[in-house]
Amino acid sequence: MTYSPATADQLLAINVNAGIEQLARSERFAAAEPDMVEAIVEGVGQFAAGEWAPLNRIGDLEGAKLENGVVRLPEGFAAAYEHYVEQGWNSIASPVDFGGQGLPFTLACNVLENLGTANMAFNLLPMLSVGAIEALEHHGSEALQAKYLPLLVSGEWSGTMNLTEPQAGSDLGALRTSATPITEGEHAGKYCIKGQKIYITWGDHELAKNIIHLVLARLPDAPEGSRGISLFVVPKYHVNADGTPGARNDLRCVSLEHKLGINASPTCVMSYGDNDECIGELVGAENRGLMAMFTMMNNARINVGTQGVQIAERATQQAQDYAADRIQSARAGSPDRTPVAILEHPDVRRMLLRMKALTEAVRALLYYTAGQVDRGTLGQTDAAARAEILVPLLKAWGTDVGVEAASLGIQIHGGMGFIEETGAAQHWRDARIAPIYEGTNGIQAADLVTRKLGLDDGQALIGLLEEIARDSAAEPALFALAGECAAVARWMREEASIDDRLAGSVPFCTMMAVAVAGWQLTRQVAAVEAGAAPALAATKPGTVRFFLDRIVPEASGLKSGAIAGAESLYAVSTEALLG
């Protein structure tokens, strides 16, 4: 269960795929000089491995517990969070005006990658806070920003996102939590919030001094559906005039969900306004809450996609150790009949290389995406549109890869993988949530074939594929995949019905993700061959070759499913299907 940060591969991806040097040439990101970048990547890697990784196992075994209304974490979590805040890791990309360091989003992704590889469940605490910070940064009034942002940015307070209700999951338009304007008394101008939210990540705990909930709710006269949802900021403790936490607000954690994994992350059922005294303030305009949420959802989805890299890296490292230690059978075809470590057998080798290639591919996709987001921040509209396309690819395929790698990790352990003591199973149990939350992977794929496919009249997506094809003339499989993606995209736009598109959305999303990731890997190889990252010279070309020769053709094979259309899905009637 030891873990060492993938510093060299991260730096390569940050340099080559995010293009950090180019970003640092802008005034906005001038501080992201090479020394600073290295210091952050190495520093957070060491911190994560030293302080957060040792808590991964105890977090899984003991988990978060609700005791007499208080959510408690296993011993060690409070101190590790305190050290995280003290060392300033929470504030990397946050606005300078509120105490942040104003560095590129790319580097904030790296902080989360390292912390999440060390301890995925714990890392959800800062991840959710980032969402709250962005919501307030982009949509909060100056007064709200001054009140909440400094301590959210430092990490002394944490944030949550409250969307889901029992009847409103993927369909947020169905939510019922209410917000009633207060016209008199000390809270006049604010709102009385009432309702129940489920599955709220880190909804309650004692690690931060206050918890700032971002809550979606409906005003009394709001239109039906998603056009009638507003966003509110609802603190656990009211904030005194001097900025310190005051009396408790009328909200509580009713229970914690019992989950398959991420046991150290308290997943709370939250009740707001049991006594009709839960006070919230409006963020942004009335009935525009969903829009406000969506502007920060891109980054949140990237952060969930990152969880795929995190768990794949951790599972790969553990499988490597086990495969080097476990002795079984002599190598087939070898005259020496002495049993060897299982990594000498071709099939174990295949699994290990697959895990490694997939992990590095998602990492390349992650930092390419983050770099495009940063260019969008600098006002480059093409990059912003490209990021829009990349986000569902990273979220959906990245998290699928996390599950696949964790599953392969179990397989490499054989029977010991199924036994909890080795910890291989924890990675798979933890990984399994990532394709579900922050918009299921099915919803990501739907977003790709509806909104994203049509961006810039289809040119945003086709332009990306043309670039991949142009750069991969020497890689026939990748070149072919880019062409097949373009053909599917054209079919979807020109011939397919909306049902046809949705029926092929998931295979198409995987094809696109593999094409972009393969392209970004070829850029890494070129850099390594030109002398970048000597530490990776022995592994990178072979790992990328594995990806290009085996995983890229698999993605091409998905084309038939992508263009099969919806008719066959309904050929079996609903009654017969339920049978």
Ligand X SMILES: Cc1cc2nc3c(=O)[nH]c(=O)nc-3n(C[C@H](O)[C@H](O)[C@H](O)COP(=O)(O)OP(=O)(O)OC[C@H]3O[C@@H](n4cnc5c(N)ncnc54)[C@H](O)[C@@H]3O)c2cc1C
Active-site residue set:
438
Query: Which CB atom, from 101 or from 505, has the smaller least distance to ligand X?
Result: 505
* Beta strands 157-162; 178-181: pairing state: unpaired
DSSP structural state of residue 330: P
Stretch near ligand X under the rule CB under 6 A, chosen from 144-152, 397-405, 440-448, 487-495: 440-448
CB closer to ligand X, 452 vs 523: 452
Please report how the helices 289-325 and 120-139 are oriented relative to each other, as an axis angle in degrees rounded to 10.
Answer: 160
CB of 526 to ligand X, least distance (A): 38
Indicate the residue among 104 and 280 with the shorter CB distance to ligand X. 280
| 180-188, 247-255, 377-385, 437-445 -> range binding ligand X (CB under 6 A) | 437-445
**CB-count exposure of residue 442 (10 Å: 0-12, 13-18, 19+):** middle
Binder among 433, 469, 515, 558 for ligand X (CB under 6 A): 433
Does the protein bind ligand X through residue 173 (CB under 6 A)? no
The closest of 310, 210, 208, 268 to 63, measured between CA atoms, is 268
Rounded CA-CA distance 360/401 in Å is 11
Binding mask 35-74 for ligand X (x = CB under 6 A): ----------------------------------------
Size of the site for ligand X (CB under 6 A): 19
| CA 334 – CA 338 distance, rounded (Å) | 9
Binding flag, residue 437, ligand X (CB under 6 A): yes
How far from 527 is each of 16, 213, 361, 466, 530, CA to CA, in Å? 7, 44, 15, 22, 5
Q: Please identify, using beta-carbon distances, which residue of 23 and 161 lies nearer to ligand X.
A: 161
Please give the structure tokens belonging to residue 477. Answer: 């499989």
CB of 577 vs ligand X, minimal distance in Å:
15
In angstroms, what is the minimal distance from the CB of 170 to ligand X?
Answer: 3
| Minimum gap (Å) between residue 493 Cβ and ligand X | 20
- Binding status of residue 450 toward ligand X by CB under 6 A: no
Candidate residues 117, 158, 162, 472; the one interacting with ligand X per rule CB under 6 A: 162
Q: How far apart are the first and last CA of the chain?
A: 46
Q: At CA 200, angle to CA 451 and CA 118, rounded to 5?
A: 90
Two structure tokens written together for 284: 């942004």
Rank residues 303 and 522 by Cβ distance to ligand X and give the closer one: 303
Which residues does 474 contact at the CB level (< 8 Å), separation at least 6?
none
Token pair 């969903």 is found at 290
x/- mask, ligand X, residues 225-264, rule CB under 6 A, reads ----------------------------------x-----
Identity (one letter) of the amino acid at 181? P
SS (H, E, C) 306-365: HHHHHHHHHHHHHHHHHHHHCECCCCCCCCCCCCCEHHHCHHHHHHHHHHHHHHHHHHHH
Cα–Cα distance, 42 to 421 (Å, whole number): 30
Site for ligand X in 485-514 (CB under 6 A): none
Q: Which is nearer to ligand X, 164 or 295 (CB)?
A: 164
Give the residue carrying structure tokens 């060392």.
87
Cα 311 to Cα 410: distance, rounded to the nearest angstrom: 13
- CA-CA distance, 393 to 399, in Å (whole number)? 10
Dist CA 374 CA 388 (whole Å): 12
Binding region for ligand X (CB under 6 A) out of 69-77, 195-203, 371-379, 423-431: 195-203
Scanning 94-102, 290-298, 348-356, 429-437 for contacts with ligand X by CB under 6 A, the matching segment is 429-437
Contacts of residue 252, Cβ cutoff 8 Å, sequence gap at least 6: 69, 204, 270, 271, 274
Rounded Cα–Cα distance for residues 19 and 12 (Å): 10
Binding mask 75-94 for ligand X (x = CB under 6 A): --------------------
Determine, following the binding rule CB under 6 A, whether residue 440 of this chain makes contact with ligand X: yes
Residue corresponding to tokens 């969930």:
304
Rounded distance, CA 302 to CA 392, Å?
Answer: 8
**22 in Cβ contact with 125 (< 8 Å):** no
Q: Which is nearer to ligand X, 45 or 284 (CB)?
A: 284
Nearer to ligand X, 196 or 440 (CB): 440
How many beta carbons lie within 10 A of that of residue 545, not counting itself? 15
Judged by beta carbon, residue 207 or residue 355, the one nearer ligand X is: 207
Phi/psi at 263 (5° precision) = -70, -25
Helix axes 120-139, 77-86, angle to 10 degrees: 40
| Residues ≥6 apart with Cβ < 8 Å to 434 | 304, 307, 308, 311, 398, 399, 402, 403
Q: How far is the CB of 328 from ligand X (least distance, A)?
A: 37
Q: Pick from 443, 462, 487, 532: which binds ligand X (CB under 6 A)?
A: 443
Per-residue contact string for residues 264-303; x = within reach of ligand X by CB under 6 A: ---x------------------------------------
Q: Report how far residue 29's alpha carbon sits from residue 103's, in angstroms, rounded to the nearest whole number.
A: 6
C-alpha dist (Å) from residue 289 to 34, 294, 559:
39, 9, 38
Nearer to ligand X, 437 or 546 (CB): 437
Stretch that binds ligand X, among 68-76, 413-421, 432-440, 532-540 (CB under 6 A): 432-440
Q: How far is the CB of 265 from ligand X (least distance, A)?
A: 7
Q: Where does this chain touch ligand X (CB under 6 A) — which range of 7-15, 319-327, 435-443, 561-569?
A: 435-443
Over the window 200 to 229, marking each residue x when it contacts ligand X by CB under 6 A and - when it does not, the resulting string is: xx----------------------------
For ligand X, the binding residue among 141, 170, 240, 381 (CB under 6 A) is: 170
**Is residue 164 within the footprint of ligand X (CB under 6 A)?**
yes
Q: Binding to ligand X by residue 175, rule CB under 6 A?
A: no
Measured from each CB, the residue nearest to ligand X is 169
> How far apart are CB 321 and ligand X at their closest, in Å?
28
Choose one: 157-165, 396-404, 560-568, 571-579; the region binding ligand X (CB under 6 A). 157-165
Give dist(CA 516, CA 520) in Å, integer: 6
Part in contact with ligand X (CB under 6 A); list of ranges 1-9, 193-201, 219-227, 322-330:
193-201
Q: Min. distance of Cβ 21 from ligand X in angstroms? A: 36
Contact positions vs ligand X (CB under 6 A): 161-164, 169-170, 199-201, 259, 267, 433, 436-438, 440, 442-443, 446
